[in-house]
């Protein structure tokens, strides 16, 4: 896939954060804290997420103790919840694009370090559930191995030292503001992949901000490019979602001239949280009507500034009537682009139409057309 942006800077190695960058830790953290706070009569509402992302365990615990006025110290909180977290590490999934990136860098012999504010033992436990990860990193450093965690640059400088590379030759990939601050203080190149929604505008110090690891272009940094894009699309391991078609925001046909079939997200929030906001495509099945090509958006639709993450499929077929209430089954097979904002409604519509043309074309490729026969689409 061609890249319009010029080369930013040559790097020799990549230093990766773990939680929120490679692993989808946020959901596990929220689940554990939600259950834990109940015994104090408190309700986890997620407001602390912005305060604790990227922090050391002690800093995160202190923020929770203070904000929820808990009758314990930060260290006592850590002692109480560490076993709860440990029981859940086996359930943490790799974020989309994480395995792809690690395999790509390994295959091209690009040295990698893992540098996290988490304790070294915790890091090694988490990555032990992901095949091949531990062997992929030349260096693994935990926050307990340095005097000060991020935003101090010490952990990144130590990673460069152990890799025997100048800091300026390192590319840091981080999801949090403390991590980005640390990377820039270490005089490294930094790509931010914000793990919390609607936060991209805060990452002004990063050299680049991307929506997810699927959008990383290693060639911008003088690293070997990915070779897996096919006609402006990225093939994905197929995933499924289904639900009744509901009335949406009333803007698809009326405002955009695009009749999206909004899917109920009841019971799908965990699944949606696993997939980055962006434009995808695949096949759609309606039991009484057949199987159709489909392009869809997942996200907050920045132009309209949705308050919740939604899924809006567009079935590429002219229907004579609405089908509210019917079960819609989707098999998602590929990715087109990240979610983006647009200066005008016309530019948004033009981009959606471009997405449609791409999806219509590539779904005829054997790579994607074979999934039209997926039994999931026709089962009821």
Which residues participate in catalysis according to the annotation? 17, 19, 312
Backbone phi and psi for residue 85, each to the nearest 5 degrees, phi listed first = -65, -45
Backbone phi and psi for residue 13, each to the nearest 5 degrees, phi listed first = -150, 165
Q: Is 302 helix (H, G, I), strand (E, B) or coil?
A: coil
Which residue shows structure tokens 């920045």? 302
Question: Looking at the DSSP assignment, which residues form a beta bridge with residue 141?
Answer: 115
- For the chain, report the end-to-end CA distance as a whole number of angstroms: 38
Question: Quick check: 333 and 364 in contact, CB under 8 A?
Answer: no
Which residue shows structure tokens 């997200």? 265
Which positions ≥6 away from 83 have C-beta within 8 Å? none
CA–CA dist 17, 177 (Å, integer) = 12
| Tokens, residue 72 | 């314990």
Q: At what angle do helices 120-127 and 74-86 cross, to 10 degrees?
A: 20
| Tokens, residue 355 | 């997405």
């Amino acid at each position: 896939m061609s890249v319009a942006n010029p080369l930013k800077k040559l790097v020799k190695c990549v230093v990766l954060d773990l939680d929120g960058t490679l692993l989808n830790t946020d959901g596990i953290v929220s689940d554990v804290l939600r259950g834990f706070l109940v015994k104090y009569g408190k309700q986890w509402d997620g407001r602390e997420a912005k305060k604790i992302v990227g922090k050391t365990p002690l800093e995160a615990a202190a923020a929770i103790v203070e904000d929820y006025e808990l009758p314990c110290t930060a260290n006592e909180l850590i002692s109480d919840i560490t076993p709860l977290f440990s029981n859940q590490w086996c359930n943490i999934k790799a974020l989309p694009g994480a395995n792809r990136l690690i395999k790509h860098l390994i295959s091209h012999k690009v040295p990698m370090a893992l540098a996290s504010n988490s304790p070294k033992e915790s890091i090694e436990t988490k990555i032990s559930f992901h095949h091949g990860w531990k062997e992929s990193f030349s260096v693994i450093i935990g926050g307990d191995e340095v005097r000060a965690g991020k935003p101090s640059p010490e952990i990144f400088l130590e990673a460069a030292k152990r890799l025997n590379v100048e800091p300026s030759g390192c590319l840091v990939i981080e999801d949090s503001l403390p991590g980005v601050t640390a990377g820039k203080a270490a005089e490294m190149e930094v790509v931010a992949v914000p793990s919390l929604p609607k936060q991209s505008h805060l990452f002004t110090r990063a050299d680049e901000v991307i929506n997810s690891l699927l959008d990383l272009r290693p060639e911008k940094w003088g690293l070997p490019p990915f070779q897996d894009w096919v006609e402006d699309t990225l093939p994905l391991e197929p995933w499924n979602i289904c639900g009744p078609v509901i009335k949406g925001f009333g803007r698809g046909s009326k405002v955009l001239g695009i009749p999206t079939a909004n899917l109920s997200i009841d019971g799908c929030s965990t699944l949606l949280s696993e997939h980055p906001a962006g434009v995808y495509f695949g096949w759609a099945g309606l039991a009484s009507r057949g199987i159709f090509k489909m392009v869809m958006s997942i996200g907050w639709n920045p132009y309209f500034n949705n308050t919740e993450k939604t899924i809006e499929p567009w079935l590429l077929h002219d229907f004579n009537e609405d089908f509210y209430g019917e079960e819609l089954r989707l098999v998602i097979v590929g990715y087109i682009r990240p979610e983006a904002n647009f200066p005008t409604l016309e530019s948004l519509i033009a981009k959606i139409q471009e997405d449609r043309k791409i999806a219509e074309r590539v779904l005829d490729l054997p790579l994607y057309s074979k999934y039209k026969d997926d039994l999931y689409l026709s089962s009821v």
